[in-house]
Chains A and B, each alone.
Chain A
């Protein structure tokens, strides 16, 4: 056996120190104890690690010049001892790593909630958002389809769709504009009379969910939280701004598109929409700029305030959009679906439709549009979902 080992002593010696680590390089003199001698011998055998090509031509290993790395020769007992030593060391390291990994995972979940999700996950959403924004372009379009493939999308969730709503008395409140008095629809006080006064009285009829599997992990579907009722009160907004009618929206260029409506739950439906591009709306009703200068939405959209907030008339549902998504060519203020005016269930008289976001952002029955430089509140982002939710 010694012969065999000597024969290989001219083979290359692997310097893979930490791999086979812990070897007794300062081995005790052979004469001391048999244990030490044996350990030294095994250590030498391990050091003699040899790289050799597969010689067997039958073997597939020779085809690509695979190599095998083997130690020097040991007795059964020595091999058993050495592999045991290696196993103790590596199983301990592995076990410690597993425990540390599990503790780290628990620690993630133990972090304080931000919008219904532990902060590390919220930060991951925001990190992903940063990358998406960097790549985003308002002219990079989603696929469009033949109109013949259009179908009716599912009605999913009733937040913000209080009963007693009358589209005829509806007005669109717009705030956050640059120099709003320049528009004829300007008013000192955008609060207006509608049938909304009793809107919360008969919530039950309209808060019905066709789909009981609403994408809500924190709140039972169909409930209106105290939070959103407070918002409804706040929604009786006083102050200057514009009050627009559907005629004002229809005066903007009419655009049609047949696109895929994608719900965050995972289903999708191809729908034909008609409406005004939000980009055209923004170009006509120019938002304020970040530095107060004259806006030029078409040519310098980056100067505008960074967000758009949209809220239902009862304040029960609200979404925030980033300005680039709002300016996307497939982002519409839609008033027709599949060739007919929107019905109440699908958001009459005016809803948002965009290929840049999941359905949760495509708010129905828009009551107010606010341009703002502060990231707007978003119904589902407060309930554990990604604020950006962008495509």
Chain B
């Protein structure tokens, strides 16, 4: 069976993705150290707390107590690298044209639901997709806005007087802290689903995030069928 190697992930995106991983981890870890000093959030239903962030056994097991100073030192050091890495990712996707594969398109929401049902084995229909399916388009674009949200809610609680307008717009200091916390929980949710999907997608897919290439069947590529005007050499090159 003839094969091709498909270039799925550009070098820059691979680096930025993998650099983001430890940076986000450090931001979350240091955030937990900070949060411990005023650990007031939980999941409550009708006044009954189902789960408290975080249970004592969790704090004890991970050595979280009495590390507020270390948490702040880490948080306000690595935030710069986290922000810079995020900005470089966004700039790269815009400049390189990778954004075309990443942003939601008309009909994305419906197809994302179909993908979700398919992945949950509740449906046999998998909608057509580009490099990423529509659930991925929504998730990968959404997580960028979550990053922006973390930046803004973080700034609102870091400098609530200098950026009083921002703190106010986010509902006040305590709401901004709540939002910052739940965005972090949402990253963890993203992470769990993301890793689960990567495991299910298999080695060829995972490896492509390291090498850049995925092995594909040669005949699945309808590449010689069309060549739009703007892609032709006469039109001045092919880089989209």
Partner of B211, one of A87, A101, A390: A87
Q: How near does chain B come to A365, taking the closest CB pair, in angstroms? A: 24
CA distance A263 to B76 in the complex (A): 17
Given the complex, which residues of B lie within 8 Å of A168, measured CB to CB?
none
Chain A 119-142 interface residues, beta-carbon cutoff 8 Å to B: 120-122, 124-125, 128, 132, 135-137, 140-142
Q: Let me know if A356 is at the binding interface, CB within 8 A.
A: yes
Question: 25 A-B pairs, CB-CB below 8 angstroms?
Answer: A1-B2, A19-B212, A50-B223, A52-B227, A56-B128, A60-B128, A60-B134, A60-B137, A61-B130, A67-B97, A70-B216, A70-B221, A75-B2, A75-B3, A87-B207, A91-B211, A94-B210, A116-B69, A125-B73, A141-B161, A141-B164, A216-B68, A265-B38, A266-B35, A391-B159
Q: How near does chain B come to A60, taking the closest CB pair, in angstroms? A: 5
Q: Let me know if B66 is at the binding interface, CB within 8 A.
A: yes
CA distance A267 to B68 in the complex (A): 13
Given the complex, which residues of B lie within 8 Å of A146, measured CB to CB?
none
Q: Let me know if B145 is at the binding interface, CB within 8 A.
A: no
CA distance A50 to B3 in the complex (A): 14
User: Which of A7, A67, A72, A385 neighbours the largest number of chain B CB atoms within 10 Å of its CB?
Assistant: A67
Given the complex, which residues of B lie within 8 Å of A61, measured CB to CB?
100-101, 129-131
Per-residue 0/1 for A1-27: is the Cβ within 8 Å of any B Cβ (1 yes, 0 no)? Answer: 100100110011000100100000000
Q: Let me know if A251 is at the binding interface, CB within 8 A.
A: no
Q: Let me know if B174 is at the binding interface, CB within 8 A.
A: yes
Q: Which 8 A-B pairs have the closest CB atoms?
A: A61-B130, A266-B38, A384-B69, A52-B223, A79-B3, A121-B73, A69-B7, A265-B37
Given the complex, which residues of A lie within 8 Å of B225, measured CB to CB?
55
Contacts A51-B240, A83-B5, A268-B173 given; does A391 touch B77 at CB 8 Å: no
CA distance A330 to B164 in the complex (A): 13
Contacts A7-B224, A124-B76 given; does A117 touch B69 at CB 8 Å: yes
Residue of A at shortest CB range from B129? A60
Q: Let me know if B1 is at the binding interface, CB within 8 A.
A: yes
- Could you tell me how many residues of chain B have their Cβ less than 8 Å away from some Cβ of chain A? 77
Partner of A69, one of B6, B69, B134, B162: B6
Contacts A55-B226, A262-B173 given; does A60 touch B68 at CB 8 Å: no
A356, B161: Cβ atoms closer than 8 Å? yes
B5, A136: Cβ atoms closer than 8 Å? no
A70, B211: Cβ atoms closer than 8 Å? no
A101, B22: Cβ atoms closer than 8 Å? yes
A217, B68: Cβ atoms closer than 8 Å? yes
Contacts A51-B238, A120-B77, A142-B164 given; does A68 touch B5 at CB 8 Å: no
The stretch among B84-92, B103-111, B182-190 that forms the contact with chain A is B103-111
Chain A 53-82 interface residues, beta-carbon cutoff 8 Å to B: 53-56, 58-76, 78-80, 82
Q: Let me know if A378 is at the binding interface, CB within 8 A.
A: no
Per-residue 0/1 for A240-279: is the Cβ within 8 Å of any B Cβ (1 yes, 0 no)? Answer: 0000000000000000000010111111100000000000
Q: Let me know if A46 is at the binding interface, CB within 8 A.
A: yes
A12, B238: Cβ atoms closer than 8 Å? yes
Residue of B at shortest CB range from A125? B76
B231, A51: Cβ atoms closer than 8 Å? yes
CA distance A134 to B174 in the complex (A): 26
Given the complex, which residues of B lie within 8 Å of A19, measured CB to CB?
7, 10-11, 212
Partner of A262, one of B68, B69, B160: B160
Q: Let me know if A295 is at the binding interface, CB within 8 A.
A: no
Interface residues of A (CB under 8 A from B): 1, 4, 7-8, 11-12, 16, 19, 45-46, 49-56, 58-76, 78-80, 82-83, 86-87, 89-91, 94, 97, 101, 108, 116-118, 120-122, 124-125, 128, 132, 135-137, 140-143, 213, 215-218, 260, 262-268, 330, 355-356, 383-386, 390-391
Q: How near does chain B come to A217, taking the closest CB pair, in angstroms? A: 4
B69, A266: Cβ atoms closer than 8 Å? no
Given the complex, which residues of A lie within 8 Å of B67, measured CB to CB?
217
Contacts A94-B210, A216-B69, A217-B68 given; does A74 touch B100 at CB 8 Å: no
CA distance A12 to B238 in the complex (A): 7
Main secondary structure of the interface of B (DSSP, over half): mixed
CA distance A45 to B174 in the complex (A): 59
User: Which of B69, B207, B228 neighbours the largest number of chain A CB atoms within 10 Å of its CB?
Assistant: B69
Given the complex, which residues of B lie within 8 Å of A45, measured CB to CB?
4
Per-residue 0/1 for B26-66: is the Cβ within 8 Å of any A Cβ (1 yes, 0 no)? Answer: 00000000111110100000000000000000000000001
B222, A217: Cβ atoms closer than 8 Å? no
B40, A267: Cβ atoms closer than 8 Å? yes
Residue of A at shortest CB range from B104? A60
CA distance A51 to B223 in the complex (A): 8
Q: Let me know if B239 is at the binding interface, CB within 8 A.
A: yes
Q: Let me know if B215 is at the binding interface, CB within 8 A.
A: yes
Partner of A71, one of B5, B68, B168: B5
A73, B76: Cβ atoms closer than 8 Å? no
A59, B161: Cβ atoms closer than 8 Å? no
Contacts A50-B223, A143-B172 given; does A74 touch B5 at CB 8 Å: yes
Given the complex, which residues of A lie within 8 Å of B128, measured CB to CB?
56, 58-60
Could you list 17 further interchain pairs (A-B, Cβ under 8 angstroms) beyond the known A59-B128, A89-B211, A217-B66?
A53-B227, A54-B130, A60-B130, A61-B100, A67-B97, A67-B231, A73-B2, A76-B3, A121-B76, A124-B76, A143-B167, A213-B66, A217-B67, A262-B173, A265-B38, A266-B177, A355-B161
Q: How near does chain A come to B113, taking the closest CB pair, in angstroms? A: 14
A384, B70: Cβ atoms closer than 8 Å? yes
Q: Let me know if B218 is at the binding interface, CB within 8 A.
A: yes
Contacts A52-B223, A383-B69, A386-B72 given; does A59 touch B129 at CB 8 Å: yes
User: Which of B74, B77, B101, B167 neighbours the largest number of chain A CB atoms within 10 Å of its CB?
Assistant: B77
Contacts A68-B221, A132-B159 given; does A385 touch B215 at CB 8 Å: no
Residue of B at shortest CB range from A123? B77
